[in-house]
Amino acid sequence: MQRIIDFFLSNKLRLLFWCYLLIGIALTTSENIYLKSSYLNTSSRLSGGVHLFFSGIGDYFSLASENKFLTTQNKVLMERLIALEKHDLNRDSTLTKKNFEFINGRIIKNSYTGIDNYLTLSLGKEDSVFTDMGVVNEKGLLGIIEFSGNSFSTVQSILHSKSKINVKVKGTDYFGSLVWDGKKPNKVQLIDIPDLAPIKKGDTIISGGMSSIFPENIPVGTIEDFKLTAAKNYYIVEIRLFNDMQNIGPVYVIKNHLKQEIKAVENNKDE
């Protein structure tokens, strides 16, 4: 206590000066409208900047939950869209089965520079993800599950030399196979389209729905160019993908609830 008293006594003149200075500033700003306005504006900018800074931090940490919400909403919308496209208007809606379910996931590894490219997903058997399930995102088709572990799975990308997926020209019944020539990650090829097909540049390519892996009408890309094969009876069609395969974002694994029934029928076996 004595030290504190000694400190004030030894610095009384300096402390008195600062006291008078603060009083003077307070009186000046209270009487001078311009200075008062400048002071308030400066104070407002400082406090606003502080609030903006902390608000930005809060927004940053809330991005994960917001992204999760959006991917869930997209999943619901995609399921509803597929259900509507499959719905037979001549039947009672209560009799319509919900064939396809979309499972949210994210990519933890993505290759696109080789000949045989894969995606690794943060989903596995524990998430009801198994081999031969289709993988898409909100822009379109991505590939097929090749291996599923307990917590992770690998996807054979459409940028793979052995990838061959049934697709068709939108608005027609002309089907073909989607393949990749190993050259550009934003372009794939459509083969087995007959020369009678009335295709043109800009036409949209979608999944054909001829397998139990992908439902019909999943977007793929647009026709950029096409030419006849050497035999001149089929087209080789160049497709520009809707997806940027180098920057995919959230993904969805497609579960077909009727897959086993379809397989049983195809194999002429009772389930």
The answer, yes or no, to whether residue 78 has pLDDT greater than 90, is no
The answer, yes or no, to whether residue 32 has pLDDT greater than 80, is no
Highest mean pLDDT among 31-35, 40-44, 240-244, 267-271: 240-244
The answer, yes or no, to whether residue 71 has pLDDT greater than 50, is yes
Residues in CB range of 249: below 8 A, 6 or more apart: 107, 137, 138
Tokens of 92: 């009672």
pLDDT band at 43 (very low <50, low <70, confident <90, very high): very low
Residues in CB range of 197: below 8 A, 6 or more apart: 169, 172, 174, 235
pLDDT top residue among 196 and 77:
196
Q: Give DSSP secondary structure letters for 62-86.
A: HHHHHHHHHHHHHHHHHHHHHHHHH
The per-residue pLDDT for 88 is 45
For residue 4, give the H/E element and its range.
helix 2-10
The answer, yes or no, to whether residue 91 has pLDDT greater than 70, is no
The answer, yes or no, to whether residue 156 has pLDDT greater than 60, is yes
**Average pLDDT for the chain:** 77
Tokens of 17: 């000066």
The per-residue pLDDT for 202 is 96
The per-residue pLDDT for 69 is 46
For residue 148, give the H/E element and its range.
strand 140-148
Rounded mean pLDDT of 120-130?
93
Measured CA to CA, the distance from residue 214 to residue 99 in angstroms comes to 11
The answer, yes or no, to whether residue 75 has pLDDT greater than 70, is no
Q: pLDDT tens digit string along 195-229? A: 999 999 999 999 998 888 999 999 999 999 999 98
pLDDT band at 17 (very low <50, low <70, confident <90, very high): low
The per-residue pLDDT for 209 is 87
Rounded mean pLDDT of 20-37?
56
Given a contact cutoff of 8 angstroms between Cβ atoms, the answer to whether 139 and 121 are in contact is no
The answer, yes or no, to whether residue 59 has pLDDT greater than 50, is no
Highest mean pLDDT among 10-19, 69-78, 87-96: 10-19
Rounded mean pLDDT of 142-160?
95
The answer, yes or no, to whether residue 244 has pLDDT greater than 90, is yes
Q: In what order do the strands lie in the sheet with 251-256?
A: 100-105, 251-256, 134-137, 140-148, 153-160, 116-121, 107-110
Facing residues of 254 across strands? 102, 134
Q: What is the percent of the chain with per-residue pLDDT over 70, rounded to a whole number?
A: 63
Given a contact cutoff of 8 angstroms between Cβ atoms, the answer to whether 239 and 205 are in contact is yes
The per-residue pLDDT for 262 is 72
pLDDT band at 81 (very low <50, low <70, confident <90, very high): low
The answer, yes or no, to whether residue 265 has pLDDT greater than 60, is yes
User: Among the residues of 146-271, which ranges form H helices?
Assistant: 259-266
CA neighbor of 241 nearest in space, from 221, 223, 268, 267: 221
Which amino acid would we find at residue 15? L
